[in-house]
Structure formats: structure tokens, C-alpha cells
Structure 1
């Protein structure tokens, strides 16, 4: 693998690559060898990032996924705009791989031709926060090993894309989902099935008991170990999931305080209302209070736990260290109404698969209703159903769908 060629190219927000043409692993490997390394994913995950002005293309329709192709080659742009498909001077092998991906998406949607792929496009303001990250990527050492990251909002198709890429490019998947680490949380978390796991090796699934607290620090250690093991065996690691804290911990190589959970302190904090916990966090660590997910008691409690035990603000202990990998980010996005329809269909499918019985089984194993409330909306709402807080299962399902819509809307803003 030639690691001497510089590049600023990236591809974001793909759709289903199951039909990606070409044997391609060498092209993908070259794209990693040339592509920039780890970037902060907080904005990239939702907004995408790329070149400015004419060097960026974006199209939206209600019935197909949004594509962002960022590049720095006039030749590639010329082909994209409808020019000759012959190889242009300056188009490197990894750019030809990206071009094949682009052509695949374009051929899958008749609207590309109707609307014209060569139309001028100006990057929206929402991407500006990510552009500064891209501008500094070439400073990263060229010898870093590759890591592909597949991320996006709930129900966007991350797992299917990850499996398709791993099959195509001789890879293995490291799950980056904060709930799929728990045994027994299968239907409610849309965990990949045993049949899907047989297609591609998956790591960090079913590694914790749902009664215990699995921390971001623990995930970071185990994910890095799994990725390094995959690389040592000369396979391609793919980090796939929708938990931004987990992905950022690996991609940005965060310095996370290794303070183990304290059950007694945590039990005391859990007894207090969320508004009171937020007020205390604003006093102890205003920066964390401003950026934390204020609707997630588990995150707020963990931040307070670190502040109280270490005597230092939680935000001061989460600096960014030197990157470990050269990261290639693939972020999936759908038009919002299409995403909502996918969410609703997934909830209905989970109910048919027996999600209520899965929660009953967890309760029978000794998992408390309070613990279920912290394991995500699906488990929280079904726990409330079993406690008689809804008039019917149908009411619970509708309320759950709206709650996931609201959660997704916050993911996208």
C-alpha cells in the first residue's frame, strides 16, 4: 500500500452499497492510505462535510437517500458534471474508487438525470463547523492504519451498509452501539441477527450484563483492542453504530477519565430529579452542562459522578489525544419524513418480533423497571406499558414512535 500520496478527498452519506461494482478492496485501501485521518464526528455525523462551491454536489428527493461526494480533483469533478468518462490526468486510483461509488448511486436514481448532476451547489452554513476540521487533516501522520466508520441516525441502515462493505472489502465490524453491548437486548436494539453475524465477524456485541453499567471508557479500551486485532490479522476494521460518544471516543482518541462507577453515589443521584441534577452540573461544570444530552439521565449522572469523585470538571478530563487511525467517515442520511416512516416500520416490526416479551424476560431475570428506563426509549415505554401507564398497547406504540421521532430530530439538529 502506497502511503506517500497526499489527499483531501472524502465520501459521506452513502446509501446501500450492496451493488457496488468492482473488486475494489485495493482501491478502498488506497483511499485510506491517502485519505485524511481522524476528524471530530460531532458535526460530520449529521451535516456531512466536503469541499466548497462547485467542488461539492448534493441532491435530495423524498424517495432516495442523500449523497455527499467531496473531492479535490478537477478531473473527477469534470466526470461528475457529465464530461468524458475517460481517465483524466491527476485522478488517482482512490478517486476512481469514489467515482465508481458515485456512479453507482447516480445509476440507482432516475432523478439524478432529470435534475442534472452538474448544477452548481453551495455548501450550506450547517457544514461550516466541519470544514475547519477538514482543512487541518493533512497534518496527520501518513503511517496511521485505516479505519472506516459508518454512522448515522436511528433506522438509517447502518448495519446493512456495514455488512455490505465488510463483505466487499474483506472486513470485520466493531459495533459502536451503547445498548447492543448488553446480552438479552436484541429486538429493542435492532441487534444484527445470528445469521447476519455469520456473514461477517462482529465484535463488542453481548459483552455485558444489562444489570451493570457499561461506560464509554470501557468501550474505548475494548474497541481499540478489537480494531488493532483486526488490523494485525490484515483485515479491514469497520466501526459501525449510532452512539456518537462511543464513536468519538475512538475516532478522536479522547482522554476519558478512568473512574469506575460508584454504585452508592450513583444510587443517590438516581433518586434526584433530572432538573436538580442538571442544576448541580451547571454549577460544577458549565461546559459539560451546555453540551450534554439533557434528556439522558445516565449521561448527566456520569458527568456528576466524575466531577464529584475527581474534584475536577468532567469537560477538563476529556481532551483529544493523538489519533490512532486514518479514518474514513461514511454518514448515512435520509430526508426526514422518509426517516420517520422507516422508524415507524421498524417499531411495528419489533413489536411483531416480540419486543414486549423480551422486556418481560429481562424483568424475570431481575432487571428493574428503573434500569429498563435507562436502556432506551423502547425499553422505557414497554416498561411503562407493563406498569399500566398506557391504556393499550396501541397507544404505547404510537407514543413510542413520536418519542423516537423527537429523539431523531434532536440527533439531526
Structure 2
């Protein structure tokens, strides 16, 4: 079999994929490229679950990339990610190492593995002006007229929905017709975590991060000049904590609604990964509860098959 050019570790939130990826990278003497659409932002640490301590294995820091590369408020996209990924990917290969991609943003992962040609969609001020007074429900209906809404994060906020409509409108006349990058032959490892265990870990982790100061993190970002709407745009923790800080939700409402939203997010991640399998990607699922060393042994065996 042709040698794998890349190792990909994917899984839903709270599956333990990052700590496993770091241990595997240490064992293979390689570097990690993050595939997380929110960890690219500086200062957004607790809310995105960076857990940077996971990248230190037995006192050795594992090099990681595409984390903390943008300021909060910026709207990074999959087009930019694809270009940043291939730049870093080539740099790591030039150092004689096989890169390790790790994350839970299925769209980012699939865009680089398949080498999709993507377009850098510019803002459309006329379209934005025509949509700015519409409700989220109205925007959702408009977006649904362009495509089937598999990705519910597109309608997580009015800003996101307008941007999604803007992209669909642009693609109507500028549809991509060829690949910009060659597909990558990657071993794909999925961290398979039982639904109930996943829910338990998500709930426990949420409360831990609230205790660690996640609300203060969001307050600090807002006080630095980032508009609340721009934080709400990122969804999940930043959406609900911002609404709490603005006084639009009580603490109990914020925690309850956020917990439900994270569980729904994890379910959507798994839906995307199952979709990747239907679209031809082979994902080797490994039980999340196995000891790290056993996961490493399994992965190394797969690399030689």
C-alpha cells in the first residue's frame, strides 16, 4: 500500500482526541496541525477548550500549528484554513516528518484531505443591507432555498446566516470547478466515545471551565473592544456567555442552554464524520476508553498495513 502522507485524528468534543494526538506525536517525533475552527483565535482559551497543557508529554513540548493565529472578532474561514494548512503541512514535511492533523471541525478536515477547490468569498454590502432587518427565522428560510441545511451552525445567529447566504449567492455564479490542491492519502483515526460517557464528560468539563473563569475570559475579550455580536457569531460558549454578560440570560438559563447546545454540537460532529465515511473516507474507530499506549499500538499497526 502507498505510504500515508498524513495521520488524521478526529472525534467529537470531549472525546480525548487532543491528548491522544499529542502522545502519538511524541511517540512518532512529529508535529500537530490543529483542525479546530475556533482555537485559531487568541485569548479564546477556556471557551474553545485549547487545553494547551495537553501538548506537553513527559516534559517535552509537542510542536502545534494553527492555534492562536487570529485576533478575536476576525471571521476566519475554511478557504483561509485550507491555504494555512497546506503551508504548514509542507513545512513539516520539509523537516522530514509526517504531519499529524487533529481536530473536530469536519469541514476543515475534509477540505484538506479531499483538496477541495474553495473560493475566497468577498463581502456583499448590498446583500447584507437587504438582509439586516430580517429575523433569524426569515434568514433560515432564505438559506434553505439555496441548500439543504445539514450544518445547523450556519443559522446559529443572524450574522452567521447572512454570511452563509452571502457565500451561497456568490457560489451561484462562481462555482468551483477544479481542485486547487491534490487530495492527501491519510490514515484517519476516529476516537469513538460512548454517547452517555460523552455527555457526562461534556457536562463535567463545562462546569470545570466555568469554575476556571470562562465568564471572565469573555468579559475581558469584550472589554478589549470586540463587539458582543462578533463573539455571538462564534456560537456555543461565546454566544451564551455573551448573552449572560449582556443580561439577556440568567446564569441558570445560560448554563442549561449552553449544555444542551454543546451536546447538540457533538452530535452534529458525529453526523459529519459519518457523512465523510459515506463520501469515501475510511475512518478507523478506536475506543476512547482504551489506554493511550494501546491506542498508539493500534495506530502504528494501521500505519504499516
Supply the distance in 2 between the matched residues of 1:149 and 1:299 (Cα, whole angstroms): 28
State the TM-score, normalizing by the size of structure 1: 0.59
Offset of residue 211 of structure 1: 1.5
Offset of residue 358 of structure 1: 0.2
Identify the residue that residue 325 of structure 1 maps to in structure 2. 184
Identify the residue that residue 298 of structure 2 maps to in structure 1. none
Aligned length: 266
Which 5+ residue runs of structure 1 have no aligned equivalent? 1-5, 7-31, 36-145
Identify the residue that residue 409 of structure 1 maps to in structure 2. 267
Return structure 1 stretches of 4+ with deviation > 6 angstroms.
Answer: none
Change (3 A) 1:318 1:344: farther
Supply the distance in 1 between the matched residues of 2:129 and 2:90 (Cα, whole angstroms): 36
Question: Which of 27, 30, 47 is residue 188 of structure 1 equivalent to?
Answer: 47
Supply the distance in 2 between the matched residues of 1:225 and 1:281 (Cα, whole angstroms): 33
Supply the distance in 1 between the matched residues of 2:68 and 2:200 (Cα, whole angstroms): 29
Change (3 A) 1:290 1:354: closer
Supply the distance in 2 between the matched residues of 1:183 and 1:281 (Cα, whole angstroms): 30
Matched, 1:256 2:118: yes
Whether the 8 Å contact between 2:35 and 2:103 is mirrored in structure 1 is yes
**RMSD over aligned Cα atoms:** 2.5
Whether the 8 Å contact between 2:116 and 2:180 is mirrored in structure 1 is yes
Supply the distance in 1 between the matched residues of 2:181 and 2:69 (Cα, whole angstroms): 28
Question: Which of 133, 136, 140 is residue 278 of structure 1 equivalent to?
Answer: 140
Identify the residue that residue 312 of structure 1 maps to in structure 2. 173
Write out aligned runs for 1:356-395 (5 A): 356-391=215-250, 393-395=251-253
Change (3 A) 1:383 1:299: closer
Offset of residue 279 of structure 1: 2.6
Supply the distance in 2 between the matched residues of 1:194 and 1:336 (Cα, whole angstroms): 26
Offset of residue 295 of structure 1: 3.7
Deviates more, 1:259-268 or 1:379-388: 259-268
Supply the distance in 1 between the matched residues of 2:31 and 2:129 (Cα, whole angstroms): 38
Question: Which of 228, 238, 241 is residue 100 of structure 2 equivalent to?
Answer: 238
Give secondary structure in 1 for the equivalent of 2:162. helix
Structure with more contact order per residue of length (Cα contacts < 8 Å, sep ≥ 6)? 2
Offset of residue 319 of structure 1: 6.1
Give secondary structure in 2 for the equivalent of 1:331. strand
Identify the residue that residue 76 of structure 2 maps to in structure 1. 214
Identify the residue that residue 303 of structure 1 maps to in structure 2. 164
Identify the residue that residue 165 of structure 1 maps to in structure 2. 24
State the TM-score, normalizing by the size of structure 2: 0.78
Whether the 8 Å contact between 1:187 and 1:358 is mirrored in structure 2 is yes
Whether the 8 Å contact between 2:18 and 2:54 is mirrored in structure 1 is no
Change (3 A) 1:243 1:195: closer
Change (3 A) 1:270 1:289: farther
Supply the distance in 2 between the matched residues of 1:267 and 1:165 (Cα, whole angstroms): 49
Whether the 8 Å contact between 2:11 and 2:270 is mirrored in structure 1 is no
Give secondary structure in 1 for the equivalent of 2:81. helix
Offset of residue 149 of structure 1: 0.7
Whether the 8 Å contact between 2:16 and 2:191 is mirrored in structure 1 is yes
Identify the residue that residue 13 of structure 2 maps to in structure 1. 154
Write out aligned runs for 1:30-179 (5 A): 33=3, 146-179=5-38
Change (3 A) 1:270 1:365: farther
Supply the distance in 1 between the matched residues of 2:151 and 2:178 (Cα, whole angstroms): 15
1:51-88 CA-partner distances (Å, limit 9, x unpaired): xxxxxxxxxxxxxxxxxxxxxxxxxxxxxxxxxxxxxx
Identify the residue that residue 297 of structure 2 maps to in structure 1. none
Instruction: From the CA coordinates, give the structure whose radius of gyration is larger.
Output: 1
